[in-house]
Structure 1
Amino acid sequence: MKKVMAALLALFIVVLPATGYAAAASFALNVSAKEVLRGGEITFSGTAEDDMVLKIIRPNQTTFYMDVIEPEEGTYSSTITIPETQEFAPWGVYKVVASSGSSSANKTFSVVEKLGEGGTNPDPGNGGGTTPPANTIPADAGDSTGSVIKPELGKDGGYIFGSGTLASAISNAQGSVTVELPAVTGDAGSSLNFPAETLKTLKDKKLDLIIISGNSTLRFPAGSLATSDTSANAQIRIVLNTLLTNDAKNVIDKALQINKDYVSTGVVISVTIQSVNGSNVTDIHNLDKPAEVSLKLTPDQAKQIGSDLAGVYYVNGTKLEYVGGKLKGDTFTFKTNHFSTYTILEYNKTFADLSGKWAWAEEAVKALSAKHIVTGVDEQHYAPSRNITRAEFATMIMRTVDWTEKASDEAGTNPFKDVPAGQYYTDAVTRAAKLGIVNGYGGAFRPNDPITREEAVVALMRAAKYFELTSSGKGASAFTDAKQISAWAKDAVEKAWAAGVIEGDGRLFHPKQAVTRAEVAVMLNRLLP
């Protein structure tokens, strides 16, 4: 079925090489025409051994189209219809970038008013043709009220604000400057352009930049965005997309075919950040400080998303990389050091051995699996009865602390003589020791020893400052084996009981008994809100 571009607005940001590697003989890209009219069709075809990513860039350097095409018997073909409006299909030269594995190829075509004129008749002011002009943004572009800027619509269909408007907002700012875009910009993938020198001004004033577009909010901490080009004509372009097009859905579905335990919620967001100076466009992928993204869900989205199982994932081709995120009320928030394609998925992992007598732990294991705090011993089994080592426990508790995003990222110096570098638990143990969550025995951590219930509870209560624990109202514990609890653990056991983190078996605490994988999952899950 023909792909109508009004439903194919750029949604995904795929990092493709600008020049690429030398294309292998098995990879080729063909474009059916050098020129095409608005409302006309154009076909992209060729050969490829693996899935082929096709991306088309407008003359103003925003993403026009993106698709992942699966070759059939080594060949592929995709036909699109060019929209009939200037907003979605400005006249000028479009760049086609195709990538498959380590091979890539670039082509161009022009959207023209009349065939045979070489694409030399761009819309006024839209920067059409091969080299868009370096338009200086007027200092008074946009309006400001207090510390809030409302950009104005530029000639190319994007939104702009100038340095003077920013200065006015800064004079009234306390901690941040907010840019409010019309709600439709997130769906339409419209661009926001502003002078690059703005970034230095905000950094010097220690002000965050907040961009609001409909139900989406981006917060860039002061100094998180940087560019080496702050000349008079240099601009920063930000394009935010939240529309789930058919192509976006197809890309997510391809990833879910390989990752069967995930379910799409239909919530997506991607952001392009570029430094622009005339025809020179440089993508800014990494941030110096994490940005915070907030997505306000619609009532229908909020109903279908289970807070215990939902998380934000970076869609990296067919790979899904867990980012985290938290749902509070109807708003999902997450932090990222780089911008690309993100989606909210539910991870509903089921283990065959969490039934019968272990059913009491299944809900906790599911919730922690969805946060990627615990994993199974294989795809089908969790091994709930297996004892957990001190190294495994330190790793799990630090994943739980990290989920709160309240702990320092500094690792510190490894204080333990028996925790070698390069082990899966080395960083977690080192960080847990620096935060005072774990300690050792005479300079040794004993990573392979089973952790006892009283040791685990002491570590849990040392980590309690990173969680929002409240009293369960149960009063003091009444364990009949309380005398067996070590003196150094008694206070922690009482606090854990009062906060509902532990329950024992109703009578006994079993302080010297090793903790099982089922028990530690339940205890860790009780720490979380």
Structure 2
Amino acid sequence: MKKVLAAMLALLFVLAPVSGYAAASFALEMSADKLQRGEQLTLSGTAEGDVNVKIVRPDKTTFYLDVIESANGKFTKTVTIPEEADFAPYGVYHLAASNGTTTLKKTFAVTDEDGNYPPEPIEGGGIIFVPPANGIPADAGTPTGSDIQPDKASNGTYIVGGDTFTSASGEAGDAVTINLPASSGSTGNALEFPAQVLQTLKSKNKDLVINSDNGTIRIPAEAIAVGNAGQETNIRIVLNTTLTDDAKNAIAGSIGSNADYHGVGAVITVTIQLVSGGTATDIHDLGKPVTVKLKLSNEQAKLIAADLAGVYYVNGSQLEYVGGKMESGTFTFQANHFSTYAILEYSKSFVDMKGHWAEQAVKTLAAKHIVTGVDEQHYVPGRSITRSEFATMLMRTVAWNGKADQPAGANPFNDVPAGQYYADAVTQAASLGIVTGYQGAFRPNDGITREEAVVALVRAAKYFDLSSPGKGTPAFADAKIISAWAAAAVNEAWTKGLIEGDGKQFNPKKSVTRAEVAVMIGRLLPAGSL
């Protein structure tokens, strides 16, 4: 038996792969567990492959994020603790390092020279509170009418107490506003207040507005579900407009190899947490949309082509177009959930649109994801479109404008089955009175004529801010063959600058092409719109 076992072990040794060095087990070391601002922390250890490192500040915001490459099974990286208090508040920092499926966690502290966490000076003066273990002081923050200036705790968190909210809400019109100090948005400092505040605001039908140096969020009180939150439960909100490594990685992962997208470095990351008993629970989905404003720097604004930029939700694997409009260098958009949003330029070119008279209209609507190509390379501008295709494009445009939020009613058509890509758009268009059918049928696969398209276009125009160019009455040579039910709409569309005709005739019975629909729908949008 011993001879057989020895032979088997010898065979296993012969068959085992040969390596220049043994596979490195994952280990992590830190050069210190207490540091002062300006000092350096060295991370080192052994690992097979890259090591992902994330360090979180005491207020739960991201302090450092990096991918450290290992060489010959070893890795090392030096991190400098910033001198500025806003970037490196005193307190305990949590470090997580991942290699493969293994994650190692450590902590270190940023202290003063005596190893303590002294109170931080607050910009512009004011009271500095150290929140007690059981909650936030009721009088934290300074109310001025419906506006509140928060206090800054020793751990860098901005805090507002319940009594302060009560005072401000009594003065408020439709919202209570918290004005964070300058640079708070770019440093990612947290804001905390009692969760019960939202119940108070909800009962008074008031919103909560949070202003930072270059970002604003307006939160309806019912947007954040707090349930039966007790007195010791807080809401923590972190608004960060810095293009952090975390945000860069999310954008890069979402865009992938698609060269049609281009970032301008403008992002906003919002984190909302329910904090209770030392446990923080992220709140992602919102009960009502939140309005977000992101102010661009002069440099960022110069990088944007007005008709091609929009706001996208990025999660590291895909993009979700959100829309957004820009006015005076500030983007405004609606968010139904929170994480990272980025302003990206989407310049989609089709090989069959180069030099075409509708090229710019197609490019502009493609950037708003209102029109798409028949494939990645072709738009096919001369192809006629169907009634269902037209309704879908038109309702995407109405939705982009954000002024027709009426919920869709019941589907009134017997030939629009649920599950078809156009079903929701056609149903919504019918609910808004933009399209009608034929004795209970919509005829989704029929081609749409120019006069049919113009009637729907004029009905949709009431959801857009259009100014009449004062063109008077059209003088189409074929006006007599325009159907009676479409004549008024054709006149109105001409007056509003939505149609041109071919110079002499309107051609009411002619089918609408994919190029024509892009130009017609594009005229609903304001010049230079996003």
Q: Indicate the TM-score class for this superposition, using the shorter chain for normalisation.
A: 0.7 to 0.9
How far did residue 253 of structure 1 move? 3.9
d(CA) in 1 for partners of 2:284 and 2:293? 19
What is the correspondence of 1:472-491 to structure 2 with a 5 Å cutoff? 472-491=469-488
Q: Provide closer, same or farther for how the CA distance between residues 392 and 47 of structure 1 changes in structure 2, counting only shifts above 3 A.
A: farther
Match of 1:41 in 2: 42
Which is worse superposed, 219-228 or 142-151? Answer: 219-228
d(CA) in 1 for partners of 2:460 and 2:451? 14
Match of 1:442 in 2: 439
Matched, 1:403 2:397: no
Match of 1:19 in 2: none
What is the correspondence of 1:115-514 to structure 2 with a 5 Å cutoff? 123=117, 134-228=133-227, 230-245=229-244, 248-356=247-355, 359-514=356-511
Amino acid at match of 2:283: I
d(CA) in 2 for partners of 1:421 and 1:521? 26
Q: Deviations over 1:312-333 (max 9, x none)?
A: 0111114221111001122110
d(CA) in 2 for partners of 1:510 and 1:44? 76
Q: Deviations over 1:294-314 (max 9, x none)?
A: 112222222222221110011
Aligned partner of residue 166 in structure 1, secondary structure: helix
CA contact (8 A) 2:44 2:74 kept: no
Q: Deviations over 1:109-165 (max 9, x none)?
A: 333769xxxxxx773589xxxxx9734211111101110000011111111111111
Which is worse superposed, 205-214 or 132-141? Answer: 132-141
CA contact (8 A) 1:273 1:285 kept: yes
Match of 1:6 in 2: none
How far did residue 473 of structure 1 move? 1.4
Matched, 1:94 2:88: no
Aligned partner of residue 366 in structure 1, secondary structure: helix
Q: Provide closer, same or farther for how the CA distance between residues 209 and 378 of structure 1 changes in structure 2, counting only shifts above 3 A.
A: same
Aligned partner of residue 519 in structure 2, secondary structure: helix
Q: Deviations over 1:51-108 (max 9, x none)?
A: 98654333443333334x49899999673515155652644351527597xx674633
Amino acid at match of 2:486: A
How far did residue 274 of structure 1 move? 0.8
d(CA) in 2 for partners of 1:89 and 1:387? 62
Q: Provide closer, same or farther for how the CA distance between residues 61 and 396 of structure 1 changes in structure 2, counting only shifts above 3 A.
A: same
Match of 2:4 in 1: none
Q: Provide closer, same or farther for how the CA distance between residues 78 and 447 of structure 1 changes in structure 2, counting only shifts above 3 A.
A: farther
Match of 2:107 in 1: 109
Amino acid at match of 2:403: K
TM-score for the superposition, normalised by structure 1: 0.85
Amino acid at match of 1:338: H
d(CA) in 2 for partners of 1:148 and 1:362? 48
Matched, 1:527 2:513: no
CA contact (8 A) 1:229 1:275 kept: no
CA contact (8 A) 1:134 1:279 kept: no
d(CA) in 1 for partners of 2:464 and 2:45? 53
Aligned partner of residue 438 in structure 1, secondary structure: coil
d(CA) in 2 for partners of 1:307 and 1:93? 42
Q: Deviations over 1:151-210 (max 9, x none)?
A: 011111111111111111111111100000012100111111111111111111110000
CA contact (8 A) 1:324 1:334 kept: yes
d(CA) in 1 for partners of 2:45 and 2:486? 68
Match of 2:77 in 1: 79
d(CA) in 2 for partners of 1:522 and 1:93? 55
CA contact (8 A) 1:37 1:82 kept: no
CA contact (8 A) 2:413 2:442 kept: yes
d(CA) in 2 for partners of 1:306 and 1:340? 25
d(CA) in 2 for partners of 1:104 and 1:417? 56
d(CA) in 1 for partners of 2:132 and 2:102? 28
Which is worse superposed, 104-113 or 26-35? Answer: 26-35
Aligned partner of residue 169 in structure 1, secondary structure: helix
How far did residue 460 of structure 1 move? 0.6
- Unaligned regions of 5+ residues in structure 2, if any? 1-22, 121-130
d(CA) in 1 for partners of 2:332 and 2:387? 32
How far did residue 234 of structure 1 move? 1.3
Which is worse superposed, 474-483 or 292-301? Answer: 292-301
Q: Provide closer, same or farther for how the CA distance between residues 515 and 43 of structure 1 changes in structure 2, counting only shifts above 3 A.
A: farther
How far did residue 32 of structure 1 move? 3.0
Return the structure number with greater relative CO, CA threshold 8 A, min gap 6.
1
Which is worse superposed, 141-150 or 406-415? Answer: 406-415
Q: Which has the larger radius of gyration?
A: 2
d(CA) in 2 for partners of 1:507 and 1:350? 31
d(CA) in 2 for partners of 1:28 and 1:203? 54
d(CA) in 1 for partners of 2:72 and 2:176? 52
Aligned partner of residue 362 in structure 2, secondary structure: helix
Q: Provide closer, same or farther for how the CA distance between residues 267 and 84 of structure 1 changes in structure 2, counting only shifts above 3 A.
A: closer
Amino acid at match of 2:345: E
Aligned partner of residue 421 in structure 1, secondary structure: coil
CA contact (8 A) 2:160 2:193 kept: yes
Amino acid at match of 1:512: K
Q: Provide closer, same or farther for how the CA distance between residues 160 and 89 of structure 1 changes in structure 2, counting only shifts above 3 A.
A: closer
Q: Provide closer, same or farther for how the CA distance between residues 71 and 82 of structure 1 changes in structure 2, counting only shifts above 3 A.
A: closer
Q: Provide closer, same or farther for how the CA distance between residues 432 and 331 of structure 1 changes in structure 2, counting only shifts above 3 A.
A: same
How far did residue 42 of structure 1 move? 1.8
Aligned partner of residue 399 in structure 2, secondary structure: helix
Q: Provide closer, same or farther for how the CA distance between residues 80 and 371 of structure 1 changes in structure 2, counting only shifts above 3 A.
A: farther
CA contact (8 A) 1:133 1:278 kept: no
CA contact (8 A) 1:290 1:336 kept: yes
- Unaligned regions of 5+ residues in structure 1, if any? 1-25, 115-120, 127-131
d(CA) in 2 for partners of 1:183 and 1:334? 22
Please tell me the root mean square deviation across aligned C-alpha atoms, in Å. Answer: 2.8
Q: Provide closer, same or farther for how the CA distance between residues 202 and 432 of structure 1 changes in structure 2, counting only shifts above 3 A.
A: same
Which is worse superposed, 408-417 or 151-160? Answer: 408-417
How far did residue 248 of structure 1 move? 3.6
CA contact (8 A) 1:139 1:165 kept: yes
